[in-house]
Amino acid sequence: MLKPAENRLNYSELLTPPLGYEVEFAIGTTYALDLEALVGVPLALSLSEEMDQTFQDDPIYVLEGLRRSADKFAIFCEAGQIKIPQNQNSIFAMMEDSVFEVALENNRSFHPKVWLIKYQNSNNEVLYRLLVLTRNLTFDRSWDIAIALEGKRTDNKTYKNKPLADFFQYLVDVTGEDEKRRQIKSIISELDYIQFDPANKYIPEFDFCPLGISGYGKAETGIFEKYHQLIVISPFISESTISELNELELSNAKKVLITRKTELQKLTESMLFHFDVFTLKDSVIDGESAISGDINEVEITELQDIHAKLYARTKYNQHHIYIGSANSSRNAFHGNVEFLIKLKYKKHGFRITDLLEDMFGDEENPFERIEIIPEQEEVESDLADLLQKGIKQLCRTQSGAFVVKEDNDDYSLNVTFEDIPEGCDFSIGPLLSTKELPLQKETSFDKLSLLELGNFYKIAAAKDGEKVQRVIKIKTDGIPEEREKEIFRSIIKDSHTFLKYVAFLLSDDFLLSVLENLEQKNSGSGNWDMDTGDYPALYENMLKTAARSPEKLEDVENIINIIEKEDIIPIEFQQLYETFILAAKKVKK
């Protein structure tokens, strides 16, 4: 079940529609969000391809993925936990309406990692997929766990999904945007008749366990009940929570804790007597070695550690396994919004400790047993934590922004905050601009271009030479509707790129088109390097498209209407296209 060397899940494959289906709508939640990782979501949802940097490097590929699915997903994250992207890209602006920050009171966190996706095929058959994960939507390499359930509509009403429906109902009021709100409410209304199947004969029962929303808390999970055996995998811990779990043991209980080395200082020496404590070995934490594509074969090292959260408990012959977002910490069970799935596992001869054998492996064990609490290493200043809390507090302050068009093609921007937290110096700037100013209750920018406008802003909190940066979302009024067209034009900026896009839209296989283009580009040529001599081939592709996939012509028409520039759309193509459309209409008659 938990053999890392054999059983690997791919995030892209978990989101990708089953064969013959298309995504209707997807709802996702995460604590931390990486916008560059988020770009991969529409690739998986609409183009059924990998959330891979290779494809993200092709702006046309990403642009088409966003055009197809930007209005088909909503992602909720902790306010103040959107990472600053390494590269500025106007494509990020196309995801603004899909990102919603959740700001809880009393320094609690929005921490669940869940996806609910609705797919539909040409026969109007609907399929639902629920993903319960322990990982954030980032490029983090740490060890995580995920479980996927699929479900279909039945005629029988079920109450099993009520906690799931209540969890997503909690998110409805956060959207503040009518269409996404309507989509989420529609899916919630359908959950009463959806039967999810874990597709495992050894899991006869399961339950959904949200935390931190009205009616659901620590007691409802069943984790904090008496047990004979207990395994806890938690990257972050609280001494009080581990102590509470320890006191719930029945006679001579077997107890195992797997955590990070950096958390060991939160344990007492007596805890090592009560628990078998394990951490990943340094050789694993130091990272995976990979050979880059560079001629010199440079070795790349990426740090990793345990990030999975799992609770496995046995009482008599009853085995329950919990997977989800909740760490074994006080905040997780006393205020944070979290989500767990509880699995009843029933297999003859099964023992909870079998999970450890899976993880530890038959040969080289990636974990090491902790015999003594190591001396506390010199830790970095708590200043970074202070700065992050400052941003978190800022996100809980009422804010707004508005845009005004100047006499020329420039725009001015005014950002307001009701209050600014004390204790550090803040600066702010539009995400897609290089401009940055000290944050005041009213901060004004001038001479911005259309492409610099958006709802995403860079926030920096600084003190004593240390700085923490995040992206936050501020509702910005007055952004011209023309901005989305401008984003397309900034990418499809010449006739060559336009023809490349059209060839891409007409291709039978998106993935093959990208790979062929990358391969030929690396060899000094490109299958999309088109000129007027290539129009007969393009015309032939249009004919094939009309016969096999006429809906693709609508995609071409949409791009033409978006671009609307004669210097980008070649006159030869325009004439060819109009002639073809007339001919296609005659054939249709």
> Could you tell me if 244 and 296 lie in one domain?
yes
Residue that is last in its domain, among 480, 507, 538: 480
Compute the average pLDDT of residues 547-562: 76
- Give 560 or 314, the one with higher predicted confidence: 314
Which pLDDT score, from 0 to 100, does residue 527 have?
39
Mean pLDDT of the chain, nearest integer: 85
**Lowest-confidence pick of 209-218, 362-371, 500-509:** 500-509
Query: In 3-state terms, what secondary structure has residue 87?
Result: coil
- State the CB neighbour count (10 A cutoff) for residue 14: 16
Compute the average pLDDT of residues 484-493: 88
- Give 12 or 131, the one with higher predicted confidence: 131
Confidence of residue 514 (pLDDT cuts 50, 70, 90): very low
Residue 155 tokens read as 């005629």
- For 416-430, the pLDDT digits (tens) are 999 999 999 999 999
> Could you tell me if 410 and 288 lie in one domain?
no
How big is the CA angle at 397 (ends 395 and 399), to the nearest 5 degrees?
90
> Could you tell me if 183 and 114 lie in one domain?
yes
Which pLDDT score, from 0 to 100, does residue 173 have?
80
> Could you tell me if 455 and 499 lie in one domain?
no
In a domain, 59, yes or no: yes
Q: Which of 3-7, 361-365, 409-413 has the highest mean pLDDT?
A: 409-413
Which pLDDT score, from 0 to 100, does residue 550 have?
66
Which pLDDT score, from 0 to 100, does residue 291 have?
34
- For 463-479, the pLDDT digits (tens) are 999 999 999 999 999 99
Confidence of residue 508 (pLDDT cuts 50, 70, 90): low
Structural domain containing residue 424: 383-480
Rounded distance, CA 544 to CA 539, Å?
9
Q: What's 283's domain CATH number?
A: 3.30.870
Percent of the chain exceeding pLDDT 90 equals 56
In a domain, 209, yes or no: no
- pLDDT of 344 over the 60 cut: yes
> Could you tell me if 20 and 137 lie in one domain?
yes
- State the CB neighbour count (10 A cutoff) for residue 525: 10
Which pLDDT score, from 0 to 100, does residue 54 have?
47
In a domain, 378, yes or no: no
> Could you tell me if 426 and 535 lie in one domain?
no
> Could you tell me if 453 and 496 lie in one domain?
no
Q: Are the CB atoms for 45 and 17 separated by under 8 Å? A: yes
Confidence of residue 290 (pLDDT cuts 50, 70, 90): very low
Compute the average pLDDT of residues 330-335: 95
> Could you tell me if 246 and 273 lie in one domain?
yes
pTM above 0.75, yes or no: yes
- pLDDT of 299 over the 80 cut: no
> Could you tell me if 407 and 544 lie in one domain?
no
Confidence of residue 283 (pLDDT cuts 50, 70, 90): confident
In a domain, 211, yes or no: no
Compute the average pLDDT of residues 181-200: 93
Q: CA Rg, the chain, in Å?
A: 26
Compute the average pLDDT of residues 499-524: 58
Q: In what order do the strands lie in the sheet with 425-430?
A: 33-34, 82-83, 466-473, 456-463, 425-430, 437-438
Rounded distance, CA 473 to CA 510, Å?
32
Rounded distance, CA 162 to CA 170, Å?
12
Which residues, including other chains, have CB under 8 Å from residue 283's CB and lie 6 or more apart? Answer: none
Q: What's 391's domain CATH number?
A: 2.60.40
In a domain, 70, yes or no: yes
Of 33, 28, 40, nearest to 74 by C-alpha is 28
Residue that is last in its domain, among 452, 480, 508: 480
Residue that is last in its domain, among 453, 480, 507: 480
Q: Are the CB atoms for 112 and 324 separated by under 8 Å? A: yes
- Give 175 or 336, the one with higher predicted confidence: 336
In a domain, 37, yes or no: yes
Which residues, including other chains, have CB under 8 Å from residue 208's CB and lie 6 or more apart? Answer: 160, 161, 163, 164, 167, 339, 340, 341, 342
Q: How many structural domains are present in the chain?
A: 4
In a domain, 350, yes or no: yes
> Could you tell me if 407 and 345 lie in one domain?
no
Q: Is 117 exposed, middle or buried (0-12, 13-18, 19+ CB in 10 A)?
A: buried
In a domain, 83, yes or no: yes
Rounded distance, CA 563 to CA 53, Å?
27
- pLDDT of 412 over the 50 cut: yes
- pLDDT of 170 over the 60 cut: yes
Which pLDDT score, from 0 to 100, does residue 8 have?
67
- For 98-145, the pLDDT digits (tens) are 999 999 988 899 999 999 999 999 899 999 999 999 999 998 888 899
Which pLDDT score, from 0 to 100, does residue 221 have?
96
**Lowest-confidence pick of 6-10, 279-283, 566-570:** 6-10
- For 365-381, the pLDDT digits (tens) are 889 999 998 887 655 56
**Lowest-confidence pick of 231-245, 406-420, 503-517, 521-535:** 521-535
Which residues, including other chains, have CB under 8 Å from residue 295's CB and lie 6 or more apart? Answer: none
- pLDDT of 301 over the 70 cut: no
> Could you tell me if 356 and 427 lie in one domain?
no
> Could you tell me if 350 and 270 lie in one domain?
yes
Of 493, 558, 491, 502, nearest to 528 by C-alpha is 502
